[in-house]
Structure 1
């Protein structure tokens, strides 16, 4: 059993250069990834700066920590300009970008429906997600892509030069249901879940979802070894103490989780925590440990 690596979610709520100092601090603390949520706002919170612009700036002020979206939202992004931004940031960062992708949230206070039009049904949302990921994959593998889907299209899109990372930047797919698991198994280099589930404890939920992921991967003839847990959305005391973190990390490592994501302490929100405990956990579990 290998102890999971640890990463953090950075809040895109502070302007530069203060935000840049926090990204450099995340690197110094030894986190594997520094992630950022991709929304127009988040549950109505403002200011909320753009994820991809933030990542470009973060890439320029760091040199070791991997950076990425947790996760890119199809609610307001089209795969073509997204691929262009991804390729650019991969070059700026020297090949340190990872792209997380999910089906998109349901809250209008974050980004659902901001482009207008009818609300997406669950079935349409799942279909859009699958097509969105398929097209982004094609665009980043390049060198030229033409695609005509039900929801998205591209015509003679040139991606040259391609990504620094070959054949493209890694994808982390956020998925819990059967259709999402198939997308993860087909296109993902890693998979992420929160462990939150109605009527089920988080560890039982993750165990069940990992079994479903394994089944989907077997059907696709692929293997996803990177399994990420985004904490903070289930009732578990990850940041109560270094000992509490170590206990929980060990339990999830036994299930097969390879990376634990903690939220950077954010005062006055449900993600408030003791910065000293947060840094103590990073000191003990970050870096190459």
Structure 2
């Protein structure tokens, strides 16, 4: 099982770059960041920098660490411009980029471009067109497409990704439509658990919900004729009923990760500690988990 982290883009690079370097020094498999224009309290009225420029800068101060978004969405992205930026980032990083991608949500920045708030069905519809087009843009030298939501006219993406045939997609999904997209286009599946359990659910209920989601992914893979073992399974922590408890100690984290490894998860992602937020944690314990828990989990 791999251990990765999320580093929120809340610090000027003169300070923030130290965190990315430290993540590599601690041996994390990957470091991701949110691809948002702003986020919820207490971050909404504070500093918040762009995901792709941040990852590009991180590529320059690291050598081994994989880099990625958790997650990019159609809320304020277009496949044509996103593809060009991803190809560039993949090249600059030496082929270390993973694109976390999902339908996006409501609030925070979902209407930042002045659009009306999309319904869950509308978000799913857009992602259903966005992802296949992005897949083509990252694998074909020239793409034209006229769709319901997105168009491309002789969009050229030469030389393509350094990773072949393209950089991997980690698809965030919980429902049938999203899981089918993960099965068809993803190299990994991402979940944060069942959001309905966040406030009042139990850890046991969360495990069962994740088990059902994983079964849904297996069914989606069978539907498209794909071996489900081909997809990595990533749990982004901090949104299950356990909340911060897995970061209380190395033992607590190993127990948490072990329960989820039994469900088939291959990667656990923890948030880099941020004081006075939902992601507050003891930094020394966090770093001890990064080193010792990863070794115990193998």
Short-chain TM bin: over 0.9
1:38 corresponds to 2:35: yes
CA distance in 1, matches of 2:49, 2:94: 23
1:185-204 alignment to 2 at 5 Å?
Answer: 185-198=183-196, 201-204=205-208
CA distance in 2, matches of 1:286, 1:19: 24
Deviation string 1:163-206 (CA, Å, 9 cap, x unpaired) is 00000000000000111111111100000001134256211111
Which residue in the other structure is 1:159 paired with? 157
CA distance in 2, matches of 1:240, 1:196: 22
1:272 corresponds to 2:270: no
TM-score using structure 1 length = 0.95
Which residue in the other structure is 2:144 paired with? 146
1:112 corresponds to 2:116: no
Deviation string 1:119-158 (CA, Å, 9 cap, x unpaired) is 2122111000111111110100011111111101101011
5+ residue gaps, structure 2, are none
SS at match of 2:4: strand
1:233-272 alignment to 2 at 5 Å?
Answer: 233-236=239-242, 237-272=245-280
CA contact (8 A) 1:29 1:286 kept: no
1:58-137 alignment to 2 at 5 Å?
Answer: 58-107=58-107, 110-137=108-135
SS at match of 2:211: helix
CA distance in 2, matches of 1:261, 1:249: 10
Q: How much has 1:45 moved relative to structure 2?
A: 4.3
Aligned length in residues: 284
5+ residue gaps, structure 1, are none
Quick check: which one's helix share is greater?
2
TM-score using structure 2 length = 0.93
Deviation string 1:52-101 (CA, Å, 9 cap, x unpaired) is 01000001110000000000121011111110110000000000000000
1:16 corresponds to 2:13: yes
CA contact (8 A) 1:146 1:153 kept: yes
CA distance in 2, matches of 1:104, 1:46: 21
Q: Larger deviation: 40-49 or 76-85? A: 40-49
SS at match of 1:285: helix
CA contact (8 A) 1:195 1:234 kept: yes
Q: Which has the higher contact order (CA 8 A, sep 6+)?
A: 1
Q: Which 4+ stretches in 1 moved above 4 angstroms? A: none
